[in-house]
Amino acid sequence: MALYGERGFEQTTVAEIAERAGLTERTFFRHFADKREVLFSGSEELRSALVDAVESAPASAAPLAAVVAALAQVGDTFFAGRRDHSRRRQAIIDANAELRERELIKLATLASALAGALRRRGVPGPVASLAAETGIAVFKVAFERWVAAASEGSLAGLVRETADQLSAVAAPATEMQ
């Protein structure tokens, strides 16, 4: 992260990363497929935590409610104490089109995993996909707000607030007055 911040992602080499970390390049490649993956390590743990949270949601929970609750729960645990790290990481990603594409792939993978968890709960395929994709959109907006926020509000709170805003946006016109 420090090298990416100092030199930029494109200019930083695996050799420099390995040297800074006190590793050989060979050891680096045992842990990461390429230098992009340094920024995306932990994605599998995040996916697993989200799937577990959806699968353990109350049976009575509506599909989107189960997804939003999972995102809020994981937001409070997975990202706890990591706002500064997340800000630095996001700035690096935002500065590079290849990394933005990789981030979108990660989000699509999370949505697919969440949809699978919902289907295992008996939610029909199209509804599961819609709830999962909508949940990821809520998370993306909440995460952007969280890394940009000057206050120390929680990511979980922003997930819930963003989901509430989505409900307001989706409300019929008569309910909005």
What are the pLDDT digits (tens) for 86-123? 999 999 999 999 999 999 999 999 999 999 999 999 99
How far apart, in whole angstroms, are the C-alpha atoms of residue 52 and residue 76? 15
* Predicted pLDDT at 149: 82
- Amino acid in the structure at residue 81: G
CATH 1.10.10.60 assigned to domain 1-35? The reply is yes
| DSSP output for 10-68 | TT--HHHHHHHHT--HHHHHHH-SSTTHHHHTTHHHHHHHHHHHHHTS-TTS-HHHHHH
Cα 127-128-133 angle, rounded to 5 deg? 100
How far apart, in whole angstroms, are the C-alpha atoms of residue 158 and residue 153? 8
* Predicted pLDDT at 175: 56
Residue ranges of the domains in the chain?
1-35, 42-176
Of 177 and 115, which is predicted with more confidence?
115
CATH class of residue range 42-176: mainly alpha
Q: Which residues contact 7 (CB under 8 A, 6 or more apart)?
A: 16
- Residue 28 pLDDT > 90: yes
Q: Considering the chain, what is the average pLDDT of its residues?
A: 92
How far apart, in whole angstroms, are the C-alpha atoms of residue 148 and residue 146? 5
Give the DSSP letter of residue 98: H
* Predicted pLDDT at 170: 85
Q: What percent of the chain has pLDDT over 70?
A: 97
Count the Cβ atoms, other than its own, within 10 Å of residue 17: 19
Q: For the residues 137-157, what does the mean pLDDT come to?
A: 90
pTM of the entire predicted model: 0.89
Question: Distance from first CA to last CA of the chain, Å, rounded?
Answer: 47
Asked whether the CA dihedral 133, 120, 171, 160 is positive or negative, the reply is: negative
